Amino acid sequence: MPNIRHAMNVKREDDFAKWYQEVITAADMAEESGVRGCMVIKPWGYGIWERIQRLMDDRIKEAGVQNCYFPLFIPLANFEREASHVDGFAKEMAVVTHHRLIADGEGGLIPDPEAKLEEPLVVRPTSETIIGDAMARWTQSWRDLPLMINQWANVVRWEMRTRMFLRTSEFLWQEGHTAHANKEEALDETHRALEMYRACVEEDMALPVIAGEKPENERFPGADETWSIEAMMQDGKALQAGTSHYLGTNFAKAAGIQYQDREGTQQHCHTTSWGTSTRMIGGVIMTHGDDDGLRVPPRIAPYQVVILPMLRDKPEDEATLAYCEEVRAGIAAQFSMGEKVRVLLDKTPGKATAKRWDWVRKGAPVIIEVGPRDMENGKVAAIRRDKMWNMETGKLANSFPERSEFIESIPALLEDIQNNLFAEARDRRDANIKRGVTEWSEVSEFYKSAGKYPGWIEVEWSKPTGDALAKVVEQLKQEKLTIRNVPRGSAPATGKCIFTGDAAVERILIARAY
RNA sequence: CGGGGAGUGGCGCAGCCAGGUAGCGCACCUGUUUUGGGUACAGGGGGUCGGAGGUUCGAAUCCUCUCUCCCCGACCA
């Protein structure tokens, strides 16, 4: 192995948590805000979010779901209506109790005791209850169903321990809420949303995921069924990248979401909700990042190609810039993966060599450098970020293609990078799921000996409930493990439950998780 | 929220124990140099040392309170 001088100081294998934070700083994605658990998302990080938003939003609308916007504040009483929902969220809510500040007489400000709210308002941790109110107003007849709405919003959950993008007090997300005439239709929608997430996360973000149902103990508060997509990070931990819930008639009963069926009888709706958040960006970092920083999959890269002119403060700069502009225009006219190619000619003052490393850390998929000699030869110097090192020499693996040929190759090149990132992640995940484990001792042994970053294990179980399930959860906890999900479409169970010894009924994935 | 660690110019850190009025590397600015690749040299700008209060002639250094971040745990759709 040649000795490569990487663009970052921390390596994944040395300290994954520190590496993760370093990527966020080095790629200029986000920074601390000074407000507990809240971050400032900077242009490069927000640009990635905007790309995700656009691609996800297109998929949401394709399914006939319409966007709305509901209030940030929810009356406290809304949360008292659905018992398990209360239990799930009560401990982590931000509450607004006053509407005015007054001087405290010592140069500071305090909430005015005179301006105390009759009923406190909760800053939404999720919007089931307030959207449920609207649904109750909007559904009268079976003709109003299904009612399918989505909103892009910020939500607040007062988490004890936060991490940039993965778990912040305030985060950005989309939440879809639907109401249906019966269980079957609501379940169909639950699965349709889950499948939409799988497709978006795998195809757009290049994150391979396993879709499946969450066990009883991991259900969303108030849900009858919770489904998730789970991604494996490079440290072998699992990240829940999206969830879709079948809420039964729980919220419908709490909010009075009813309709008259064809026979004229009042019926409760069956509702669903589903969400994905800025947390997915954390997943992109921990899946595609490397020791040189971030690698952004082309579909969600704000800029897919960055052109760096080699300027020298001399008269020939003008010609170099003109040549770069031609290359830029040529690339901008290309279409890749169904969209116009997003290209930036970075004219920021500074040395091209220094700027190159900035873009490497940000993870622009393709970086081009153009100097006078390239111009003379009608060429460009190109680096593809996903394969930027020559492993023989330890030097940058740049190529010097002819200009017009290169421009025409861009669409295929971006698609290849997209596919390569996905394939790399999928192969790594598949290589790190251990199957065929039938004894609990093997599980503990695996996590003791599998090194610093163990992966997942698939086991069969008897799907215990209640106290028996609690016992299983406790047993897993001893190894810091959790049940991720019951993979959709996996082979039927054939053996015994690894926990109870009873006949197994299904397969589950267990893993350490974020 | 419990245990541990930490907050000093944009980033990474030293100084703190043994108080005396702020320093290093990178980055940044200027100049020279170099010019197919993260050039080198010289000069320079920027910090009321997280915040508040206290002890003291004097506080980045000592004491109290508080905010924020990181790690472990508890918690977590």
How do residues A179-204 score in pLDDT, each as one tens digit? 999 999 999 999 999 999 999 999 99
Nucleotide nearest to A373 (CA to C1'): B36
User: Residue A506 CA to B19 C1' — how many Å?
Assistant: 69
Residues facing residue A367 across a β-bridge: A306, A383
Q: Is the CB of A475 under 7 A from strand B?
A: no
Query: What's the N-to-C CA distance of chain A in angstroms?
Result: 32
Please check whether strand B approaches the CB of A161 to within 7 Å.
yes
Angle, helix A43-62 to helix A279-288, in steps of 10 degrees = 110
Q: Give dist(CA A236, CA A218) in Å, integer.
A: 20
DSSP A399: B
List strand B contacts in A 364-423 (CB < 7 A). 369, 371-376, 381, 398, 400
Confidence tier at A79 by pLDDT (50, 70, 90): confident
Tens-digit pLDDT profile for residues A397-441: 989 999 999 999 999 999 999 999 999 999 999 999 999 999 999
Collapsed DSSP state (helix, strand, coil) of residue A378: coil
Percent of chain A with pLDDT over 90: 72
Count of alpha carbons within 13 Å of A13, Cβ hemisphere only? Answer: 1
What does the alpha-carbon distance between residue A206 and residue A284 come to, in Å, rounded to a whole number? Answer: 8
* pLDDT above 70 for A228: yes
Task: Specify the pTM.
Answer: 0.94
A28 CA vs B60 C1’ separation (Å): 30
Cβ of A452 near strand B (distance < 7 A) = no
Task: Report the alpha-carbon distance of residue A148 to residue A177 in Å, rounded.
Answer: 6
Q: Which residue has the higher pLDDT, A420 or A7?
A: A420
Q: Which of A6-15, A62-71, A76-85, A159-168 has the lowest mean pLDDT?
A: A76-85
Chain position carrying tokens 């809304």: A78
Q: Go through A43-55 and write b for each residue having 16 or more CB atoms within 10 A of its CB, e for each that does not.
A: ebbbbbbebbbeb
CA A125/CA A93 separation, integer angstroms: 7
Whether nucleic acid strand B comes within 7 Å of the CB of A160, the answer is: yes
Q: Which of A32-36, A242-246, A442-446 has the highest mean pLDDT?
A: A242-246
Q: Is the CB of residue A163 inside 7 Å of nucleic acid strand B?
A: yes
Residue A380 has pLDDT above 90, yes or no: yes
How far, in Å, is the CA of A108 from the C1' of nucleotide B58?
30
Structure confidence at residue A290 (pLDDT): 93
Q: Are A307 and A345 in contact (CB under 8 A)?
A: yes
The spacing between the Cα labelled CA in A459 and the C1' in B66, in angstroms, equals: 49
The answer to whether residues A109 and A101 touch, using CB atoms and an 8 Å cutoff, is yes
How far: A87 CA to B71 C1' (Å)? Answer: 29
Nucleotide with the nearest C1' to A16 CA: B71
Give me the sign of the Cα torsion angle A255, A259, A263, A264: positive
